[in-house]
Structure 1
Amino acid sequence: MEPCGGGGRLGELRREAAEYYRGHRVPQRVEEALNALFPLCPADLYGALANYFSTFSKAPVICKLAGRKVLDGVGKPTLEVEIYCTVKNYEKRICSAIMSSHSHVPENASPEINEGDEKERSDSVATAVEWVNESLNAVLRDLKPTDQCEVDKMLGEYFRKKVEEKKIQKEEEEATAPLSCAPSAVALSGKKKAAKPGKKMSSTERTIPPAEPIEPVLCGSLAIGGTSLAVAKAGATINHIPLYLHIALLKYNQDSPKEMTLPHPMITLLNCEKFSPAKLKLVKEVMLIPPAQLSLKQPSPQLADNKKGKAPNTGKKAPLPPLKRVSHLGCLITGWDNLEQPLLLMQTACNNIGLELGTDMYLAINCAAHELMDYVKGKYEILTGTFKSPDEMVDVYVELINKFPSIIALVDPLRKEDRQQWSNICCALGSKCYLIAEDAAANISKLKIDQSTNVPMCSGVVLKYINQTKVSDLIEFTGLLDGQRHITILGSPDGESSDDSLVDLAVGLGARFIKLGGLSRGERVTKYNRLLAIEEELAKNRTLRSEANFEFTDFAEETQPEKELSDVIPPPAQDSLPPQLSQPALQVHSLPAQLPDNNTLT
């Protein structure tokens, strides 16, 4: 036997083995020669040799995409994307991602509108499957799944090409279509009543800003978001790290964070049916938020001290309306006759289990004000037959927060078109609670293109991973929000699946809150379980950082020039993403440990 070294028979075998790990088949004679040369070598030596030669192997690359139609948690069709990579000369399935379905159809839509939405959704999923299996399969072949920026760049170029093709097709159809008489009047989105001919409009009606048209969604756009998310999951799998850490490394330019925070869950307890016989329309969701310093698994101190698990019931009782059904958000749907009923019910329920609102738990209200506007009257219908102008709505919310200081977040208290009223409510309540834009926020991809938040003055924005949104879009946009002292809330769309990637995205992006719905549907409970698992993992690694208090922004301290510029976010630098937080531009107030006991109505 020749001595070990770079020359001779053994050196030749080493070179041939290295060639194998570079992507070539190893000749059978090499395997036979190794067995002959090292018949008595232990198995761990062969493992060491394999590990050594694997350092010369090619990095895994994408070899195939597979798209298919699947069903989400409410039985609606949506898209699943599978990623296959070439790993050490073998094709291997790495992971898959399921996109959540999303719909802009309101709750009280007619059967004809719902039927049209179902057909549009089915066509979009079918087109997305075709894009993934054909075009995108060829576009992304041989790209590294760890190179998220390059993958998303290719996806963006492909999507822009499809948008341009659609535009040209539409222009050709309009050019060849026969001329027809345009209708004399077009109903505004959300309009409840038709204006009578010849009726003179009041000054309020003339000045109310009309609703912005819903941005059209290109048929098949699910393929872009689904593929980008699947590639991100594949990159995390290839690097042998969890997805949330992979996202954090992408956001902070591969600089591993020493500590990470968990987003605070917004847990939906009640879904208030706006179109039921009940009178209340102002509240869509009542959500529970645990204290900032409380672990997700940690019980409340009061519960541990109270032997019976009950506390004296103080305050007025609210009658519980009949429970109807469980919503797609995973919570009970009920109807109410006034604003105080659901809030007093929450107060009573917390008291009965030994919790005190404002200390042990806090509330958030999703107002969904865009669903309330009567465009004939130019006012919001907050109760059946009770209307408030945009300016009067600000006073309504000021009175609400003064009576119920345990409410620390209002979601969509106004339409995004009422920008002056958003500024007014931020100055009036910004130091007491979060004013959050959900429907009032534009599409993430459009925000990225415009390099502007395109939202009214607010405390933060709810972002949803839907349609053509890419992982790079989320990373860039949340970096911009961080730099402007806006908080980020990751929200789940209407039709969720069992894919729990949204939680990893929220943790990796450093979102302040995560809005997942209730705890009564499996596809939503799965995400809460994932949040618990990440908390346990971070605590075990000693990288979990908890926040002491909620912090609110005092918008009233801003100067007028700062107010004018607060809605516009400058474009990021090309060579790096923005830091996690810039120097505070606004005065920040922490939530007091004990709120005044003023939760009962007079």
Structure 2
Amino acid sequence: MEAGEQLGRLRREAAEYYRGLRVPERLEQALNELFLQRPEDLYGELANYFSKFSKAPVICKLVGRKLFNGVGQPTLEVEIYCTVKNYEKRICSTVMATHSQIPENALPETIEADEKERNECVHTAVEWVNESLNTMLRHLDPTDQCQADKMLGEYFANKVEEKKEIERQEKERQEEEAAKATPSVRSGSTPKQKKGGKPAKSSVEVTPSPPAEPAESALRGSLAIGGTSLAVAKAGATISHVPLYLYTALLKHHQESPKEMTLPLPMVTLLNCEKNSPTKLKLVKEVMVIPPVELSLKQGIKRVLDIQKEIIRLLESSGKKPGSRGESRRGRALKGPPPTLKISHLGCLTIGYDSLEQLLLQMQIACHNIGLQLGKDMYLAINCAAHELMDHEKGKYEILTGAFKSPDEMVAMYVEMINNFPFIIALIDPLRKEDREQWSSICFALGSKCYVIAEDAATQISKLKTEQNINIARCSGIVLKYINETKVSDLLELTGILDGQRHITILGSPDGESSDESLVDLAVGLGARFLKLGGLCRGERVAKYNRLLAIEEELAANGALREAKLEFVAFAEESEPEELPTPEQH
């Protein structure tokens, strides 16, 4: 059949069809004009036109499966399928990151028990997704994040109550068994006591430190809640034909599209200091670098890589690791193979030091060698992870091997540190969260010079959101991690609370990071001040820096990129935010 005959037939059939539907005359005229085009153009135009009248996509299936994260630990993937124009279509997937609370020096049996628990948690999460959540969210509009998170929250709350009821019944059963097994004690008899009477009191009175708050255990299966919520957000962004960072911003600002957006500043981990290494320094867990705000992200990342290369060169040329006896008395490097440089799971060098001054001196030398100056061309952030330093018997923090400081002495030490090294503009977890009074002291003393940030010292996201406060006396901001039962709506609400309290938001990668790049989009859309992703090694971490670079390029091309600002908030009520000096002001 010739093209002309085919067009004529289609024209007659379409005209009869639309007359039956009483199509307006102008629409019929437009269709008549379409029929004069080539068949391939005609079919495309008709498909585009009728697609506007198709039903909105709805979720038709969730698929959960077990995968492995960047350090080989089991984690959860959630896939979302939607019905689009009467066809089932895979829309997106998410892979959850995981967080470990097992210390570096844990016993083998503790590590084995943790691995077993992780596997059971992921197995339960897969079951939740494929069974209960799959049924519960079917036919839901993927752009209705609020409703999806509400249903997920209610489901999780029911699971928590079920667990409490099971634990209550188990406790009652154990008490009954114990009562039956306990023999009756004869009247008048008393337990034997050792000679010597009361135990002798210690001659030295030690002020006990506040006991550590119990670890916030995650409910088995909780990964399913966070993974599904994030998958729904990604599906909503895909269906709406916008990137996830813009979709997140629209959710936060109630569908008002921001004219400009600010990228979070990267806290790039350069060194991971081993607290259990033969070297003495225990106070520092991570050394992070923060590029100046006047640099583009691309320029800042290049500068960080230059510093990293120079540090590696210095270590290899010296023939030793910091803190080791690799030099002769004359200062010359001893002969021997160069040290093996270990890459941490955080994507950076793992190194030990004997003192804070030694560490900072090496940073200054590395920067100086490539023409940079700390405090002008690059800034430092220190993660102290002080909860790992407490000796509970002494009630003090062990900052160096055999050197201890009380919480009040820690405050004085940090004040001296920032005064001596003003290029340190952020301290993360300088104290345990139990030392609330000292948190206040640090913030009042240093709040106008440096960010005092809570990471492990903050409580879990769900509790923060419920209590509407920060659960510690004072801090400049909080590191939020998207793990376990965290939902996208929780982040939206909590960052709004932090903004209102003049706290900064930092989104951080957990130690068990996955290849999923969604964290970067969330940070941009939520307006986070910093993004703590680890180092510039390991694919699961570098992928996130690459995603941040892509977002910067897209915003710049659209004229929507606003320059970030670094300003400190002093904690005196009458004080105003203090902006970090630019290089011209030094």
TM over 0.5: yes
Alignment correspondent of 2:336? none
1:11 aligns with 2:36: no
3-state SS in 2 of match to 1:494: coil
Relative distance call for 1:202 and 1:230 in structure 2 (3 A) is: farther
3-state SS in 2 of match to 1:461: strand
CA distance in 2, matches of 1:162, 1:6: 58
**Which of 121, 126, 131 lines up with 1:124 in the alignment?**
121
3-state SS in 1 of match to 2:434: coil
Relative distance call for 1:338 and 1:45 in structure 2 (3 A) is: same
Using the TM superposition, name which of 335-344 and 80-89 deviates more: 335-344
1:320–1:345 contact (8 Å) kept in structure 2:
no
User: 1:450 deviation in Å?
Assistant: 2.2
User: 1:205 deviation in Å?
Assistant: 2.3
- Alignment map for 1:274-313 (pairs within 5 Å): 274-298=275-299
Letter in 2 for 1:477: L
User: 1:452 deviation in Å?
Assistant: 2.2
What percent of counterpart residues are identical?
68
State the TM-score, normalizing by the size of structure 1: 0.82
1:358–1:595 contact (8 Å) kept in structure 2:
no
User: 1:9 deviation in Å?
Assistant: 1.8
3-state SS in 1 of match to 2:67: strand
1:81–1:96 contact (8 Å) kept in structure 2:
yes
CA distance in 2, matches of 1:467, 1:400: 36
- CA deviation map 1:142-174 (0-9, x unaligned): 001111000000000000010111111111111
- CA deviation map 1:364-388 (0-9, x unaligned): 0000001101111111110011110
- The root-mean-square deviation of aligned C-alpha atoms, in Å, is 3.0
- CA deviation map 1:31-58 (0-9, x unaligned): xxx9xx9697532233222222222211
1:54 aligns with 2:51: yes
1:108–1:275 contact (8 Å) kept in structure 2:
yes
Alignment correspondent of 1:267? 268
- Alignment map for 1:39-438 (pairs within 5 Å): 41-177=38-174, 178-179=177-178, 200=202, 205-206=207-208, 208-298=209-299, 320-321=322-323, 322=339, 324-438=341-455
User: 1:409 deviation in Å?
Assistant: 0.3
CA distance in 2, matches of 1:2, 1:278: 86
- CA deviation map 1:480-506 (0-9, x unaligned): 101111000000001111111110000
1:533 aligns with 2:532: no
User: 1:550 deviation in Å?
Assistant: 1.4
- CA deviation map 1:409-428 (0-9, x unaligned): 00000111111111111111
Relative distance call for 1:588 and 1:201 in structure 2 (3 A) is: farther
2:454–2:479 contact (8 Å) kept in structure 1:
yes
Letter in 2 for 1:592: P
User: 1:198 deviation in Å?
Assistant: 5.2
2:35–2:42 contact (8 Å) kept in structure 1:
no
**Which of 567, 580, 583 lines up with 1:591 in the alignment?**
580
Relative distance call for 1:40 and 1:389 in structure 2 (3 A) is: closer
CA distance in 2, matches of 1:496, 1:232: 19
User: 1:179 deviation in Å?
Assistant: 2.5
Letter in 2 for 1:176: R
- CA deviation map 1:523-548 (0-9, x unaligned): 1000000010000000000000003x
State the TM-score, normalizing by the size of structure 2: 0.85
3-state SS in 1 of match to 2:94: strand
1:323–1:333 contact (8 Å) kept in structure 2:
no
Alignment correspondent of 2:529? 512
Alignment correspondent of 1:24? none
User: 1:596 deviation in Å?
Assistant: 10
CA distance in 1, matches of 2:102, 2:490: 25
Please list every run of 5 or more consecutive structure 2 residues that lacks an aligned counterpart in the other structure. 1-7, 24-30, 183-198, 305-309, 324-338
CA distance in 2, matches of 1:8, 1:280: 84
Alignment correspondent of 1:558? 573
Please list every run of 5 or more consecutive structure 1 residues that lacks an aligned counterpart in the other structure. 17-33, 183-196, 304-308, 560-585, 598-602
User: 1:594 deviation in Å?
Assistant: 4.8
Relative distance call for 1:323 and 1:415 in structure 2 (3 A) is: farther
User: 1:301 deviation in Å?
Assistant: 12
CA distance in 2, matches of 1:243, 1:301: 26
1:5–1:11 contact (8 Å) kept in structure 2:
no
3-state SS in 2 of match to 1:74: coil
1:487 aligns with 2:489: no
CA distance in 2, matches of 1:301, 1:265: 12
User: 1:460 deviation in Å?
Assistant: 0.5
CA distance in 2, matches of 1:302, 1:510: 24
Letter in 2 for 1:368: A
Letter in 2 for 1:179: A
Relative distance call for 1:363 and 1:15 in structure 2 (3 A) is: farther
- Alignment map for 1:2-41 (pairs within 5 Å): 9-11=16-18, 41=38
Relative distance call for 1:10 and 1:127 in structure 2 (3 A) is: same
1:449 aligns with 2:466: yes
- CA deviation map 1:497-528 (0-9, x unaligned): 11111100000000000000001111100000
CA distance in 2, matches of 1:199, 1:220: 48
Letter in 1 for 2:166: Q
User: 1:345 deviation in Å?
Assistant: 0.8
- CA deviation map 1:219-274 (0-9, x unaligned): 01000000001111111100111000000000000000000000000010110000
CA distance in 1, matches of 2:202, 2:74: 47
Alignment correspondent of 2:27? none
CA distance in 2, matches of 1:80, 1:331: 26
1:502 aligns with 2:519: yes
CA distance in 2, matches of 1:80, 1:51: 34
2:322–2:352 contact (8 Å) kept in structure 1:
no
Letter in 2 for 1:262: L
3-state SS in 2 of match to 1:179: helix
1:205–1:375 contact (8 Å) kept in structure 2:
no
CA distance in 2, matches of 1:246, 1:399: 44
1:463 aligns with 2:480: yes
Relative distance call for 1:154 and 1:96 in structure 2 (3 A) is: same
Deviation above 4 Å: which 4+ runs of structure 1?
1-8, 12-16, 37-41, 201-204, 299-303, 321-324, 594-597
CA distance in 2, matches of 1:292, 1:507: 15
Letter in 1 for 2:127: E
Relative distance call for 1:589 and 1:147 in structure 2 (3 A) is: same
CA distance in 2, matches of 1:509, 1:49: 40
Relative distance call for 1:253 and 1:391 in structure 2 (3 A) is: same
Alignment correspondent of 1:28? none
Relative distance call for 1:592 and 1:388 in structure 2 (3 A) is: same
Letter in 2 for 1:170: E
2:77–2:94 contact (8 Å) kept in structure 1:
yes
CA distance in 2, matches of 1:382, 1:436: 19
User: 1:278 deviation in Å?
Assistant: 1.0
Structure number with the higher helix fraction is 2
